[in-house]
């Protein structure tokens, strides 16, 4: 019988180097996601109040820009603290990851306007009308 390690061209050291941080990376991502979403929601409503419900593009993008910075920085920080990523890579990974997220957020704005228009049409809602979520 052939030992289990003989059938793979990848040795255990390389496998552990590539996949060894998976659990930590997922945990760091979930913590960062929750923190970023909390920030995103509060900033979205801050911008909504400040603009009196107008300028959807502004509140969508500005809340997302900051929350995605927090998300990216948090994940990288946790991975650096636990030694899974070298601190020397932090700045470059932060910049590239954040810029990617900003570009995607800016590109999804027209689709958000389309979604809002379809939602308003489907539920026969007026401009700036909100759904009443009271359960009384």
Angle at alpha carbon of residue 86, lines to 33 and 92, rounded to 5°: 70
CB 111 within 8 A of CB 72: no
Q: What is the pLDDT of residues 53-66, one digit of tens each?
A: 889 899 989 999 99
**Which one is predicted more confidently, 28 or 93?**
93
Whether the pLDDT of residue 2 is over 50: the answer is no
pLDDT tens, position by position, 71-126: 999 999 988 998 888 999 999 999 999 999 999 999 999 999 999 899 889 988 88
Domain boundaries, the chain: 20-122
Q: What's the whole-number mean pLDDT along residues 23-48?
A: 91
Other CB atoms within 10 Å distance of the CB of residue 135: 4
More confident residue, 2 or 7: 7
> How far, in Å, CA of 122 to CA of 129, rounded?
13
């Amino acid at each position: 019988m052939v030992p289990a390690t003989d059938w793979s061209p990848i040795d255990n050291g390389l496998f552990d180097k590539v996949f060894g941080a998976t659990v930590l990376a997922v945990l760091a991502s979930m913590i960062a996601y929750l923190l970023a979403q909390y920030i995103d929601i509060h900033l979205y409503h801050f911008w909504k109040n400040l603009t009196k419900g107008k300028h959807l593009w502004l509140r969508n993008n500005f809340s997302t820009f900051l929350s995605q910075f927090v998300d990216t920085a948090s994940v990288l920080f946790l991975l650096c603290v636990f030694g899974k990523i070298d601190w020397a890579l932090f700045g470059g990974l932060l910049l590239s990851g954040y810029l990617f997220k900003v570009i995607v957020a800016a590109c999804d704005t027209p689709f958000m306007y389309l979604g809002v228009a379809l939602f308003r049409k489907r539920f026969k809602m007026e401009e700036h009308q909100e759904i009443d979520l009271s359960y009384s």
